[in-house]
Amino acid sequence: MQYVNLGRTGIRVSKICLGSMTWGQQNSRSEAHQQLDYAIERGVNFIDTAEMYPSPPSSTTQGLTEKLIGGWVAKGNRDKVVLASKISGPAVWLTWIRNGKSRFTEKNIRAALNASLRRLQTDYIDLYQLHWPDRPTNYFGELGYFHKQDPDATPIHETLSALRGQLDAGKIRAIGLSNETPWGMMQFINAADYHGLPRIASIQNPYNLLNRIFEIGHAEITHRENIGLLAYSPMAFGMLSGKYLRGARPEKARLILFKHFKRYDTPEAKEAIAGYRQIADEYHLSMAQMSLAYVNSRTFVTSSIIGATSLQQLGENIDSQDIKLPKSVLREIERIHLHNANPCP
């Protein structure tokens, strides 16, 4: 396993991060613990979760993923992992989390963090992230930009000040963003520098062969400011495994169970996936591993967040970090991308 620094923090994390959003929904407690044990055995030391999980979110399951991880942590496993979690932002569709008004204020951050610490059965979280912005903007694949003012949005320097209080208390070690825009990234960086507040160490945004928009505005910032991308959905909800090609609908697959997940299930995506599958077949590669190896190879990616519902899937995904794609494969991938760029932003 390869390990890299998380931003400027000095925290060393594995190039593969184990995602957990299926635990408590598609995966049971025992399956979650098996995945954790197996991942640690393979050298993965980075685990990502969120107070909102499992996903799709529900008032009856919210927080269950952290509880499942907490049960595993309590077995004496805390020192084996770098643990990341997230505080939910404001969302009318999450009425059960602080009445859907989860602003990034000192009060809300303190309450959310303490609740996560209890569920995770730990005294500290290594990386605490803002799950999405506390202002109206585009995220989760929203297209078109219609500017809105929000008088209730928490000023960024106030959020950073609240997070500094938790850093000083030893409850978190580093902070990060998620689903954030280039403008938002720079505002957090500038506010930290101007007010002498903690800098963000990472950003967790989608990045995969069907969605490479991170390259356009974010990537330069991550390089110049030493901020790590934690790439989520590197498999595009499993679409890049090829298992949905030609209309296939595998039993218990995520897009079959949750039909409203349409972000990566479009005609344009299917065309691109067919092209990528042809490349993988020509070079005798697993399509899933080729897709993950591409993400792993990008210089602005600190860690790829993989999710799996079985140990077989997990093993195949972890193995991707050992694959170095030939230049000829990279050229072919770029050819498909230029013909059908970012079909699922």
Enumerate the active-site residues.
Answer: 53
Structure tokens at 147: 């500017």
Determine the Cα–Cα distance for residues 101 and 45; give it in Å rounded to an integer: 33
Structure tokens at 60: 């009856």
In this structure, is the dihedral angle defined by the CA atoms of residues 61, 43, 175 and 143, taken in order, positive or negative?
Answer: negative
Please provide residue 230's backbone torsions phi and psi, each rounded to the nearest 5 degrees: -100, 100
Looking up tokens 């506390």, which residue turns up? Answer: 134
Buried b (16+ CB within 10 A) or exposed e, 131-166: bbbbbebebeeeeeeeeeeeeebbebbbbbbbbbeb
Structure tokens at 315: 């093993």
Please provide residue 34's backbone torsions phi and psi, each rounded to the nearest 5 degrees: -65, -40
Looking up tokens 């400027």, which residue turns up? Answer: 8
What residues contact residue 233 under an 8 Å CB cut-off, 6+ apart? 206, 207, 208, 211, 264, 305
3 state DSSP class of 127? strand
DSSP one-letter code for 80: G
CA distances from 299 to 1, 210, 240, 326, 338 (A): 17, 18, 21, 16, 20
What residues contact residue 202 under an 8 Å CB cut-off, 6+ apart? 6, 7, 127, 129, 174, 176, 177, 227, 228, 229, 230, 302
